[in-house]
Chain A
């Protein structure tokens, strides 16, 4: 087909549709579809310099200094030589540039690795190996088992029956269960016939690239027929092919157009609160600068008018200056240049360096390294560290974050007997250890990973207790698990939910091995004997029924119904004969519930043949009915699921990640609120909330909000609020009501998010913030993000979202800080996170230790940094009053150049990389220490004003003491000391001493490096002083180094050192006094804790605080089952059951 044959309506590439044709490269070329290269890097070797510089100058501070540089080049106003700005600017730009270059190199390497992966591509009737990046739209490519999908493509055919292909979408959406994709019949017939595939010329018209993972519509036109395409036929880049030997696909979206890349889309640049504050402060400083310049310009005008005009006999006005007004216009800019150091040039680059360093500490932390998976913690974003010290809200995912998503068959109650606890002779529970594990060697088909500790159950099984046998038989029959047996005796279960897998595995180990199934039969190996049960019906699970049943015909021709489900439901369906058993079992269930186990009741019923036959007819009718099918089916189901005989109950442990309850407790002591946002059901979520301390039994009550429309939601919220604090309804809108009362709230999000609409969301927020623990269930990823946004918008606090799956990505991106749990299946969450580590309990270390340190360091850094620049710059302001407002600097130009860059940079960097008020152990022992960060006490506008006042005071002292000391004074040999250069030297040396002692006072943790940096900086100052003022340099460049001999002549004068001592003492004593009096006059809780810690440090460590064992309290149902709609329909329809594969795989021995 030539390009001209392309249907006219499709010619417009910018149109609404994408058009492509299989095996026709020209189409792809014509529409200029990109090839499959992905590019995440920003620069290449040629554009790096201009592009990077351009980006850097977009930053306000850098642009400011560039403008300043241009101002300095104007001789009429230049009050400082150009190098005072150029040298710092070049250093700052190159540090940032090097950092950007290193980052981009890494991205280049990653891109190259991905782009150069190889894939089989159909070229001229042959499969050829090619690189990923060469794949074009319209190509047909072949994928094999366990290969990642190259591009978004239409499944054409596969090795599996019905042209199914199984994919794992963990990287895409975090779900670990396999998904089924099916090719349409017209293409699946081609199988792996390369001739047919090469001849295939189907035309696809589909939507334009978009980021909706679960939506795709398109039409395939082939041989004159149109076939409808949906996302069930699309293999997305990022998926991995599983359990499918090979499959062929037609590439539809490539490279940047794929849904994966469209989703990863633009990176939202996160700014910390400190960043924002810094920008505001820089703006303030800028305004302050302008005001000062204005004042000085006015002063200059007056001076020139009153004195300067007459002083013209010695200093005539420049020829372009016609009046004092014109002169003051020029002087405005001159002072703008002189005072530029108010806006600290190295502020931003220092902040970046500090954050980088503190990020490295996170990467290096051994206590956040997870050895079993070999994953260290990772600070993926290096610009958010101090934000970690201000977290107020933590939003956590449940599955995979709080829990491991591993279900373990933990206990069971069979016919009134409790199994699972190991009890010694005295009847006490004994802690189990690995070596007590029961050996299931008698059962060849047992799963070696399964562990159980109670020997009595095994004894019961081997003794042949009929109830126990029936119990396990029901577990091995009543499920929708599928088995796979690639090697004889090694069964692999594909369960839709891990709960089911756990139950079936338990049955398997105890000798009731579910071996294989077809649409009509279930093969079970019962205590070594293979029996085939006829599967008559699956009464599938749903959220209303909360139970599932199977009806089977045993080899003995009995019709049996096995049912498992929630205790609340099953109890009502039981036969009156087993009420007493039910009571005992319910007691056991309470025990299970208090341990946070997920429970199910198991029951059975024997049906007589006739009854079943009539029921079966009804069932068949209900199945075929078109309207109200669901409802009719559930009525039919209810008819048969009654008069059940109770068998027992199972208790599954939803294994929490290590240390979750302790972490939650520590974090809540640090006044961090933890909200659990989960897509899971309410029961499951509540269960987990109890077991990980988010809900505690001593909390007052649970508010459950699950209205179906916004009005009922509002009513429920209002009711909850009036209960907690009746008068809070009166004050109309303040969101920040804080209540210490311990409440817990539970929000179940209905399908349509009514609770997140308009004014209801405010109501929701108010109620939720009053509660101690909050759980939101049935959340879609979008809703998770909405909740985070909600809190972010109204509460003005720092939020942190932690999750592991792709469904958490939106929340991770929305929160101020996103944390990904890495090392699990699926990388999506981690790739979008700012910090990643592999265990939830590392969160407390991340926040309470690293976050707190980073925040403290950053605050100390900022307050010191602003102070040192104020003290440095404002001296010029005072000097202006004595030099005719002529923009004369107090310091030598070289001092101005080096001050921020050399003399004072290292001590402050050292402080902000090494300082720690208390070590990590104490930080974790006293989570209360975290509070100042949340309230942002250590650096805010008030603190900034303190810095400013302190700076003004210091500059006053720094100027007037030397002035008084040299005024009309002479050296001891009668020569001059009141000359400008000596005066400069005195002031600048005093300044260096003052800022150095100031930082020495700030440092609380003096490492060797701190000593080295501080004394080293002082040393460097004096060395450079003698170098810059040396005879040789001055003779070589007399106009650049104008201060020869000043150091030698003045440093030996007593006035100089007397001034320095006086200045240092005058500057330090108020600070020491303030530090001393502050905790006495305005004590904060932290002071008390610090005092206690300092006291404790002199004494041995207290015993680590053990978390209290939670006492079982309220009776509650612990029913939980992470089950959505089951596989049931699929199984009975026979669609996914690999009838061929079954013969091939399950019984290889018989082949």
Chain B
């Protein structure tokens, strides 16, 4: 056979810790002296953390208003009724009046919230062309197949930006007016709408195609806007840094939500007199009501909110921490009892042997 003629000891296996499975090792044991304190410590830590989270979340002020316009709920119901069954719905305006009896501490953020809007539907989510959005000229003319049916317009022109996400861009606009004195004039509150998108999205992921003769419009020549859009993409804003694919609203919208109910940042209020928050008084939000959601049972909400160190108002984490902490301690006690009882038993068994 193979080893008959070889020198003595040639087949002697190596005597190393690895081959002999004698590697030095740490052999931890989950004994009672580790497990039980672990439960109690985890429980206490969680309760402490949970309390902190709960109170910081509770300290956040939120003011929200559903302006979908279900019959009789607000004056937007007129717009809602008008838009019923018409696509695109006619331009319409409505307003939301509210008053603050004390200062709404700033900085205040204005969000819009959509519900039952399935941005996380797979077919919706893939209906985009990231190559096109990153400004690749070739992709501008040749949108990806995933964009269908918003890949090409009826005339055969490539749609820019293509896809269902872009086509469904949220197009309600809001303006906030403040009445300092009762019956006084409404003063427009400045809304800071810059930098509402992620830095990386605005600077890396979304790029305009290279300008042609210094003009963005020419760069987009030969493309069609999405069917729902009243204007082409290069006219989204007058600001050259905020138009085309790098329009902040557009970029925010294109970051699709994980859940069917979601909020998106519309503006920050942090300028002028309002840097400390919204002072008391009456307010009016002018809404240009364009976006149809009633057809599929969706809702549109406007939210004013401020923010803590751990983000927006969300009591979930605090409560979850409290519950888990309490559970840990309870289970810890139960285990302690069980351990003491059964420990005696096993000791007895050992003695019996």
Task: Tell me, yes or no, whether A binds B.
Answer: yes
Min C-beta distance of B196 to chain A, whole Å: 7
Per-residue CB proximity of B258-270 to A under 8 Å, as 1/0?
1111111100100
Contacts A313-B295, A314-B167, A1058-B310; is A1069 near B39 (CB within 8 Å)?
Answer: yes
Query: A315 to B200, Cβ gap below 8 A?
Result: no
Q: For the complex, give the distance between the alpha carbons of A971 and B314 in Å.
A: 11
Q: For the complex, give the distance between the alpha carbons of A977 and B312 in Å.
A: 10
B177 beta carbon closer than 8 Å to chain A? no
Min C-beta distance of A1034 to chain B, whole Å: 7
Q: Which of A887, A972, A1059 has the most CB of B within 10 A?
A: A972
A375 beta carbon closer than 8 Å to chain B? yes
A residues 873-913 in Cβ contact with B at 8 Å? 882-884, 886-889
A1062 beta carbon closer than 8 Å to chain B? yes
Q: For the complex, give the distance between the alpha carbons of A307 and B118 in Å.
A: 10
Query: A970 to B11, Cβ gap below 8 A?
Result: no
A1094 beta carbon closer than 8 Å to chain B? yes
In the bound complex, residues from chain B placing their C-beta under 8 Å from that of A427 are: none
Chain B: which residue is nearest A831 at the CB level?
Answer: B1
Query: B320 to A976, Cβ gap below 8 A?
Result: no
A1066 beta carbon closer than 8 Å to chain B? yes
Which of B17-25, B213-221, B236-244, B274-282 contacts the other chain? Answer: B17-25
In the bound complex, residues from chain B placing their C-beta under 8 Å from that of A1077 are: 335, 338
In the bound complex, residues from chain A placing their C-beta under 8 Å from that of B349 are: 1088
B residues 312-331 in Cβ contact with A at 8 Å? 312-314, 316-317, 320-321, 324, 328, 331
A residues 1065-1080 in Cβ contact with B at 8 Å? 1065-1066, 1069, 1072-1073, 1075-1077, 1080
In the bound complex, residues from chain A placing their C-beta under 8 Å from that of B30 are: 1001, 1072, 1075-1076
A154 beta carbon closer than 8 Å to chain B? no
- Among A365, A374, A1045, the residue within 8 A (CB) of B9 is A374
Query: A1080 to B339, Cβ gap below 8 A?
Result: yes
B63 beta carbon closer than 8 Å to chain A? no
Min C-beta distance of A985 to chain B, whole Å: 10
In the bound complex, residues from chain B placing their C-beta under 8 Å from that of A196 are: none
A916 beta carbon closer than 8 Å to chain B? yes
Q: For the complex, give the distance between the alpha carbons of A1117 and B313 in Å.
A: 93
Query: A313 to B20, Cβ gap below 8 A?
Result: no
In the bound complex, residues from chain A placing their C-beta under 8 Å from that of B290 are: none
Q: For the complex, give the distance between the alpha carbons of A1115 and B118 in Å.
A: 90
Query: A313 to B335, Cβ gap below 8 A?
Result: no
B residues 127-173 in Cβ contact with A at 8 Å? 127, 129-131, 133-134, 136, 139, 144-145, 148-149, 164, 167-168
Which of B65-73, B93-101, B249-257 contacts the other chain? Answer: B249-257
Contacts A374-B9, A970-B109; is A979 near B256 (CB within 8 Å)?
Answer: yes
Query: B19 to A361, Cβ gap below 8 A?
Result: yes
Chain A: which residue is nearest B132 at the CB level?
Answer: A1038
Q: For the complex, give the distance between the alpha carbons of A314 and B30 in Å.
A: 55
Q: For the complex, give the distance between the alpha carbons of A356 and B245 in Å.
A: 55
Chain A: which residue is nearest B345 at the CB level?
Answer: A1080
Chain A: which residue is nearest B110 at the CB level?
Answer: A974
Contacts A366-B12, A969-B314, A1066-B324; is A315 near B124 (CB within 8 Å)?
Answer: yes
Query: A920 to B311, Cβ gap below 8 A?
Result: no
B44 beta carbon closer than 8 Å to chain A? no
B197 beta carbon closer than 8 Å to chain A? yes
Q: For the complex, give the distance between the alpha carbons of A315 and B120 in Å.
A: 11
In the bound complex, residues from chain A placing their C-beta under 8 Å from that of B316 are: 964-965, 967
Q: For the complex, give the distance between the alpha carbons of A314 and B163 in Å.
A: 10
- Among B13, B164, B310, B324, the residue within 8 A (CB) of A315 is B164
Q: For the complex, give the distance between the alpha carbons of A1059 and B196 in Å.
A: 25
A807 beta carbon closer than 8 Å to chain B? no
Chain B: which residue is nearest A1030 at the CB level?
Answer: B204
Min C-beta distance of B24 to chain A, whole Å: 7
Contacts A313-B295, A376-B11; is A976 near B264 (CB within 8 Å)?
Answer: yes
B61 beta carbon closer than 8 Å to chain A? no
Query: B122 to A886, Cβ gap below 8 A?
Result: yes
Q: For the complex, give the distance between the alpha carbons of A706 and B297 in Å.
A: 88
A residues 322-380 in Cβ contact with B at 8 Å? 334, 360-361, 363-367, 369, 371, 374-376
Q: For the complex, give the distance between the alpha carbons of A1007 and B338 in Å.
A: 33
In the bound complex, residues from chain A placing their C-beta under 8 Å from that of B256 are: 979-980
B28 beta carbon closer than 8 Å to chain A? yes
In the bound complex, residues from chain B placing their C-beta under 8 Å from that of A314 are: 117, 124, 164, 167-168, 296
Min C-beta distance of B273 to chain A, whole Å: 20
A279 beta carbon closer than 8 Å to chain B? no
A288 beta carbon closer than 8 Å to chain B? no
In the bound complex, residues from chain A placing their C-beta under 8 Å from that of B181 are: none
B121 beta carbon closer than 8 Å to chain A? yes
Query: B19 to A978, Cβ gap below 8 A?
Result: no
Query: A968 to B261, Cβ gap below 8 A?
Result: yes
B299 beta carbon closer than 8 Å to chain A? no
Per-residue CB proximity of A899-936 to B under 8 Å, as 1/0?
00000000000000010100110000000000000000
Q: For the complex, give the distance between the alpha carbons of A1007 and B307 in Å.
A: 47
Q: Which of B8, B144, B201, B331 has the most CB of A within 10 A?
A: B201
Min C-beta distance of B110 to chain A, whole Å: 9
Q: Which of A319, A334, A973, A982 has the most CB of B within 10 A?
A: A973
Chain A: which residue is nearest B202 at the CB level?
Answer: A1045
Query: A968 to B200, Cβ gap below 8 A?
Result: no
A687 beta carbon closer than 8 Å to chain B? no
Query: B311 to A315, Cβ gap below 8 A?
Result: no
B29 beta carbon closer than 8 Å to chain A? yes
Query: B27 to A1006, Cβ gap below 8 A?
Result: yes
A284 beta carbon closer than 8 Å to chain B? no
Min C-beta distance of A120 to chain B, whole Å: 23
- Among A914, A974, A982, the residue within 8 A (CB) of B307 is A974
In the bound complex, residues from chain B placing their C-beta under 8 Å from that of A1006 are: 25-28
Query: A1062 to B317, Cβ gap below 8 A?
Result: yes
In the bound complex, residues from chain A placing their C-beta under 8 Å from that of B14 are: 364
In the bound complex, residues from chain B placing their C-beta under 8 Å from that of A967 are: 259, 261, 314, 316
B58 beta carbon closer than 8 Å to chain A? no
A983 beta carbon closer than 8 Å to chain B? yes
**Known A310-B297, A914-B23; 10 more pairs at CB < 8 Å:** A307-B296, A318-B148, A883-B260, A966-B314, A970-B265, A976-B252, A978-B257, A978-B258, A1055-B311, A1058-B317
Q: List 8 tightest A-B contacts by C-beta distance, closest first.
A: A1045-B200, A983-B258, A970-B312, A964-B316, A364-B19, A310-B296, A1038-B130, A888-B122
Write 5 A-B pairs (CB below 8 A) sorted by A numbering: A315-B164, A886-B122, A887-B122, A888-B122, A972-B310
